[in-house]
Amino acid sequence: MSNTKATPKTPAILQGGFRILFFLAALWAAYAMMAWIGFWTTGADLPSGAMLPQDWHVHSLLYGFAPAVLGGFLLTAIPNWTGTRMITGTPLALMAVLWALGRVAVWLSGSLPVIAVILLDVSFLLTLLVVSARVLIKSGNVRNMPVLGFILLFLMGQIFFDVISLAGGYASVTPGAKLSMAAIILLISLIGGRIVPAFTRNWLKKQGADDLPVMFGGFDKVVVGLSGVTLLSWVMTQANLITGVLMLIAGVLQLIRQSRWKGEKTTSALIVAMLHIAYLFVPVGFILLGLSMLFPVSVPAMAGQHAWLSGAMGGMMLAVMTRASLGHTGRELRTTWREVFIYGVVLLASVIRVIATFPTPDFLLHIAATAWFLAFAGFAVLYAPVLFTKSKN
């Protein structure tokens, strides 16, 4: 699929990858949580096919929601990085269809050949990898080529997860799920480590501030590199003292790194501050996982994983989705009541979900799940006028 220029007849929703893929991601994130609540409370059927219910829950968010957001981001960012045109129109619609086919394939996995389900499930991410690689390599954009490695790692984790789960195993606790989770956290660490200080710097300059964030440099490379080594140890081994110590060191260094981004100066601009708040769940996840390995009786490992999945992944992706949707449609980057609502409920979901991994009343899980649903259903409803109408510039 090649990049094409949108024609006047191209529907607005197909005039940029961020439009249709962010919308589909939000709908799916809301639906998947609503379906999980129904299963959890009433035993309602899930569209899980041959997958165990817990695997479907993890798969829906990790391999349904996350790739759609990643696709929307990269199909929008890579043209900016390389000076090329966005994929729009029919090619973009076909990519969205590939994503949807993956969801349908899992639903019908009980009656389809395993190989067919896996091929359909990974087709969107594989296509995204090929499209992204083609543009980055052709343009010689070496700086952003590490992104391709993270997509490949994520894809490898997805294949591993699908093989185990569709064969009747419990894939949620296997290296496949951990590998994909690690790829997402590393991608957030790399890309977030560039865009968060950059966006903060731009906003602070407009306010006339002199004390500006430190941009991505040598220290950041060390922190991202150590985080990668730590995550590799986590993926490849069982909980152990060495990995636990590495987790704590990586978490502290991530905190030091983030402290240089001047997030405390953005409290009056929530659309900027949310990037800092969401990123904070990255070091928190490292620290909680480290503590779980050193003090397994007191700290559950799931606390760190939910900090990453709900807080870092869910929160950061929503922050990027709102910002990109406004900025790339020519709208003012400012905080309104809809951003306050969306950010507020996703943060509520993230904090409570981490707390609920400790011995707590079951109603906290219901609150966390409902808040997650409201965050993404809220984005789909409140941002539909932005995504389905033409840009203002």
Tokens representing 122? 């990974």
Q: Which amino acid is at 44?
A: A
Taking Cα atoms as reference points, which of 320, 314, 323, 242 lies closest to residue 285?
314
Give the list of residues 6+ apart from residue 308 with CB closer than 8 angstroms, or none.
Answer: 181, 184, 185, 281, 282, 285
Distance, in Å, from the CA atom of 382 to the CA atom of 96, rounded to the nearest integer, reads: 21
Domain boundaries, the chain: 12-173, 215-393
Q: Is 301 exposed, middle or buried (0-12, 13-18, 19+ CB in 10 A)?
A: middle
Name the H helices within the chain: 17-42, 53-59, 66-82, 89-107, 114-139, 146-166, 175-206, 218-236, 241-259, 270-279, 281-294, 301-306, 316-327, 337-355, 363-382, 384-387
Residue appearing with tokens 């009433």: 42
The pLDDT of residue 1 is 37
Give the list of residues 6+ apart from residue 357 with CB closer than 8 angstroms, or none.
Answer: 300, 302, 303, 306
pLDDT, block means (10 residues), the chain with 393 residues: 56 95 98 94 91 94 96 95 92 97 96 96 96 93 91 95 92 89 95 95 91 93 96 94 97 97 93 96 98 95 95 96 94 92 97 95 93 97 95 73
- In eight-state DSSP terms, residue 336 is -
Tokens representing 262? 């001047």
Give the list of residues 6+ apart from residue 355 with CB closer than 8 angstroms, or none.
Answer: 364
- In eight-state DSSP terms, residue 85 is P
Distance, in Å, from the CA atom of 213 to the CA atom of 42, rounded to the nearest integer, reads: 49
DSSP string, 133-186: HHHHHHHT-GGGTHHHHHHHHHHHHHHHHHHHHHTT--GGGSHHHHHHHHHHHH
